[in-house]
Chain A
Amino acid sequence: MRLKLHASTLALAAAGLLAPGLMLTAGQAGAWSLEEAAKPFAGTEVNVLFLDRPGYNAIKQMLPEFEAATGIKMNITTVPYENALGEQVRDFVAGGDIDIALVDLVWLGNFAENGWILPVETFTSNPALTDPDLDMADFFPLPLKAFGEWNGTLYGLPFDNYSGLMFYNACMLKDAGFDAPPATWEELKDVYGPALTKDGKYAYALQSKRNETQSADSFARMLWPFGGSFLTAEFKSNLNSPESQAGLQFRQDLMKYMPEGIVAYDHSEAVNALAQGDVAMLTEWSAFYSTLASPETSKLGDCLAVAPEPKGPAGRKPALGGFSLAVATQADEAERAAAWLFIQWATSKANAGTYLEKGGVPARQSAYADPKLAETYKFIPALVESWQDGVPEFRPRFAEWPAITEIVQEWGTKMMLGEVSVEEGAKTIGEKMEAVLAEAGYYDGKKPLAQ
């Protein structure tokens, strides 16, 4: 391990074309190794919340290696996504013991503005702590910016990374006479929808449960490809623009090709519907690939195929989501250093391959360079394609998002259930959203218009 680090350090120094700062570091600390760097912090305990998802389980499997090399003890508490924000906010407010923040991209603004997380620069400026082979340029720019950067400052490194992908049952499509998945959303609705919705099976599932799933996976997913967005440049509601309305109306029209009760489908139900052969197509996060590919949880076998999400009139604009890890401000000096060493290790270039192998989805470009990987992991080409073009503010990442998502969840669901019309629903969300933003001070210049 030590030897490997040496070799890559040398390679980087020899290449000598990335960040000049890093090169300098490499030059000074030719002997940098994780073991050496961690020596002063052996025995330090680092607390972090994890979710019960493949990316976290992958790191858990790799963890003994890190703990053995560093003597740092990682205390991982697993919580459901629904509780993760609340538990972290309460912990930070109470000056609790969490040392690493698990930051969903939509919490980024919130955590950063409250000063709960530290900029990455705090550590990269310290050569003793920073791996000369950190190589920021190797991260896909979109997830790095979207999951880790707020208002020009980088806080977290992308860890559990997602892009929306189209998973489909190639056998069902073939039986209905389709050799390829739909290229556009319209095609999905007008051609594939009627052909695949029959005999108790449905063409498509759109997980829409009233929680973050409703706003991220369902509402926003249909907004962007049609040219819509949450906000105008002035931070007013853009939900009643013709483009936004077209997207939301499209979602409504598409519902007749989705299973009944789709508003109660969370990820597990939607993934299971595809895995059991009840629906033919599903747009889901890349991380669900392992669930859908495993014979233990899925009947799909070779029928499983993956493509990027369909394009809309405004382009691909796939769902974008993911978590970065950032060092919590409340940690003491030793905990901060140990936390940073863990984050750096977990997201490193050197470990990206193992992480991928164990079910994670690294945001390292180098991890996907080997074209043979696509044979084992069918999702890779689609994923790389998706991360080329996307909107970081797919869901606005400012501190007001937790309040706004609640509004979107409530009225977005009502919309789908037909309790309000698309237009009325959008208007209500818009008004309530603007009230939240006004309260926060975006309209009187108190706050920069960052999302």
Chain B
Amino acid sequence: MTPKVSRLTLAAFLGPAVFALAVVGIAPMLFAVWKSLHFFNLTKLAQQKFVGLDNYAAVLTDPVFWQAMGRTALLFAVSVPVQIAIGLTIALVLHRPGLTLWKTLTRLALVLPMATTYAVVGLLAQVMLNQKYGVINQMLGWLGVAPINFIGDPQNAFIAVILWDIWQWTPFVALVLLAGLSTVPPEIEEAAKLETKSNWTVLRHVQLPYLIPSLVAVLILRTADTLKLFDMPFTMTRGGPGSATEFIAILIERVGNRQFDIGMASAQAMIMLALTILLARLYIRLFYREVR
């Protein structure tokens, strides 16, 4: 049984952390809510005024906002399935016995992309995907493909962001799924492998049930990270060309930081936050049952 402790002890242990997180996490959020009810533009501070829910009404009816949301959803819908497909393949290869040294090295290599500074990932994309000086186009040239204008064309730029997202996060998905695979009891897996030669059958009927938690984790974390996605497209395309890669976080940054309309940006951020908290609740319900 967990011991009951005095309120004072509890406060001494938890107080500092709770206080710190409240100050840095909650106070600014409340401030943002307050600002979101105002016309508040850094270049027009004299005209600052309370406008009630006007900003929210403007955001909810603003096609630009919904287009950015749609783009964010599309990025998720395209890149995450690819990440899962490739990631699962990698995980299955790594899960097989043998070639231990190779596999250890591969696991180490897989760690690199997800740890890389996201801003640098975007800069790397600029250098490697350049139509003329980029190594990717050079490689495509070896395969007989004409140089592709990755960054300059709206559609290609979106594809380029997807490709880069896949590069950075497929290893993550692979390692998460590998962790899931290792939860399959070895004796069950062995028994299944004796019964059938088809790897697919083993995957579908024996391993998949154990992979479900990992898959759900991937889906939810990738949703949250896609909503947060800022650094990489910011350094890669700044949301362009046109608004082809203006994802939701980039849009909010543009409104707040380049149009200086902090009231509007705060309203947008609050709507995004509501969505995030909904998703977080779902996540925690699915994964942290043990604590309850």
A and B co-occur in one complex: yes
A residues engaging B (CB < 8 A)?
A: 82, 85-86, 89-90, 93, 110, 114, 209-211, 260-265, 399, 402-403, 406, 410, 413-414, 417, 419, 440
Given contacts A263-B152, A417-B154, contact A93 B45 (CB under 8 A): yes
Given contacts A209-B241, A414-B242, contact A265 B43 (CB under 8 A): no
Query: In the assembly, what is the distance between CA of A210 and CA of B153, in Å?
Result: 12
For B260, what are the chain A residues with a Cβ–Cβ distance below 8 Å? 86, 89, 402
Interface pairs (29), CB distance under 8 Å: A82-B238, A85-B258, A86-B258, A86-B260, A89-B42, A90-B42, A93-B42, A114-B43, A209-B241, A210-B239, A210-B240, A210-B241, A210-B242, A210-B243, A211-B240, A261-B149, A263-B154, A264-B151, A264-B152, A265-B152, A402-B43, A402-B258, A402-B259, A402-B260, A406-B254, A410-B242, A417-B241, A417-B242, A440-B44
Query: In the assembly, what is the distance between CA of A210 and CA of B151, in Å?
Result: 12
Query: In the assembly, what is the distance between CA of A389 and CA of B254, in Å?
Result: 35
For B259, what are the chain A residues with a Cβ–Cβ distance below 8 Å? 402-403, 406
Query: In the assembly, what is the distance between CA of A191 and CA of B261, in Å?
Result: 46
Q: How far is the CB of B28 from chain A (nearest CB, A)?
A: 15
For A402, what are the chain B residues with a Cβ–Cβ distance below 8 Å? 43, 258-260
Are B257 and A413 in touch, CB under 8 angstroms? no
1/0 contact trace for B140-157 toward A, CB 8 Å?
000000000101111001
Count of B interface residues, CB-CB < 8 Å: 25
- Selected from A263, A399, A417, the residue in CB contact (under 8 A) with B44 is A399
For B258, what are the chain A residues with a Cβ–Cβ distance below 8 Å? 85-86, 402, 406
Given contacts A402-B260, A417-B154, contact A209 B240 (CB under 8 A): yes
For B64, what are the chain A residues with a Cβ–Cβ distance below 8 Å? 410
For A406, what are the chain B residues with a Cβ–Cβ distance below 8 Å? 254, 258-259
Are A86 and B240 in touch, CB under 8 angstroms? no
B131 at the interface (CB under 8 A from A): yes
B residues engaging A (CB < 8 A)?
A: 42-46, 64, 131, 149, 151-154, 157, 238-243, 254, 257-261
Q: How far is the CB of A409 from chain B (nearest CB, A)?
A: 9
Query: In the assembly, what is the distance between CA of A410 and CA of B238, in Å?
Result: 13
The list of the 8 closest CB pairs from A to B, nearest first, reads A264-B152, A261-B152, A261-B149, A413-B242, A210-B240, A264-B241, A263-B241, A93-B42
For B45, what are the chain A residues with a Cβ–Cβ distance below 8 Å? 93, 114
For B43, what are the chain A residues with a Cβ–Cβ distance below 8 Å? 89, 110, 114, 399, 402
Query: In the assembly, what is the distance between CA of A406 and CA of B257, in Å?
Result: 12
Are A413 and B42 in touch, CB under 8 angstroms? no
Q: How far is the CB of B115 from chain A (nearest CB, A)?
A: 27
Query: In the assembly, what is the distance between CA of A395 and CA of B149, in Å?
Result: 30
Query: In the assembly, what is the distance between CA of A399 and CA of B153, in Å?
Result: 32
Query: In the assembly, what is the distance between CA of A417 and CA of B241, in Å?
Result: 10
Given contacts A210-B240, A410-B242, contact A86 B257 (CB under 8 A): yes
For A414, what are the chain B residues with a Cβ–Cβ distance below 8 Å? 242
What is the chain B residue whose CB lies nearest that of A415? B242
Are B153 and A264 in touch, CB under 8 angstroms? yes
For A211, what are the chain B residues with a Cβ–Cβ distance below 8 Å? 238, 240
Are A410 and B243 in touch, CB under 8 angstroms? yes
Q: How far is the CB of A101 from chain B (nearest CB, A)?
A: 13
Query: In the assembly, what is the distance between CA of A86 and CA of B238, in Å?
Result: 15
For B242, what are the chain A residues with a Cβ–Cβ distance below 8 Å? 210, 263, 410, 413-414, 417, 419
Q: How far is the CB of A334 from chain B (nearest CB, A)?
A: 27
For B239, what are the chain A residues with a Cβ–Cβ distance below 8 Å? 210
For B243, what are the chain A residues with a Cβ–Cβ distance below 8 Å? 210, 410, 413
Q: How far is the CB of A391 from chain B (nearest CB, A)?
A: 24
For A86, what are the chain B residues with a Cβ–Cβ distance below 8 Å? 257-258, 260
For A440, what are the chain B residues with a Cβ–Cβ distance below 8 Å? 44
What is the chain B residue whose CB lies nearest that of A89? B42
Known contacts A210-B243, A413-B243; can you find 13 more A-B pairs with CB under 8 A?
A85-B258, A86-B257, A93-B45, A210-B238, A261-B149, A262-B152, A264-B157, A399-B44, A402-B43, A403-B259, A403-B261, A417-B241, A440-B44
For A82, what are the chain B residues with a Cβ–Cβ distance below 8 Å? 238
| Most chain B beta carbons < 10 A, residue from A209, A210, A263, A417 | A210
What is the chain A residue whose CB lies nearest that of B254? A406
What is the chain B residue whose CB lies nearest that of A261? B152
What is the chain B residue whose CB lies nearest that of A412? B242
Query: In the assembly, what is the distance between CA of A410 and CA of B239, in Å?
Result: 11
For B44, what are the chain A residues with a Cβ–Cβ distance below 8 Å? 399, 440
Q: How far is the CB of B30 from chain A (nearest CB, A)?
A: 20
Query: In the assembly, what is the distance between CA of A414 and CA of B257, in Å?
Result: 22
Q: How far is the CB of A196 from chain B (nearest CB, A)?
A: 20
Query: In the assembly, what is the distance between CA of A150 and CA of B291, in Å?
Result: 64
Query: In the assembly, what is the distance between CA of A419 and CA of B244, in Å?
Result: 12
What is the chain A residue whose CB lies nearest that of B41? A403
For A209, what are the chain B residues with a Cβ–Cβ distance below 8 Å? 240-241
For A89, what are the chain B residues with a Cβ–Cβ distance below 8 Å? 42-43, 260
Given contacts A89-B42, A402-B43, A406-B258, contact A264 B240 (CB under 8 A): yes
Query: In the assembly, what is the distance between CA of A410 and CA of B254, in Å?
Result: 12
| Most chain A beta carbons < 10 A, residue from B43, B153, B259 | B43
For A261, what are the chain B residues with a Cβ–Cβ distance below 8 Å? 131, 149, 152-153, 241
For A93, what are the chain B residues with a Cβ–Cβ distance below 8 Å? 42, 45
What is the chain B residue whose CB lies nearest that of A441? B47
Q: How far is the CB of B261 from chain A (nearest CB, A)?
A: 8
For B241, what are the chain A residues with a Cβ–Cβ distance below 8 Å? 209-210, 261, 263-264, 413, 417
For A260, what are the chain B residues with a Cβ–Cβ distance below 8 Å? 149, 152-153
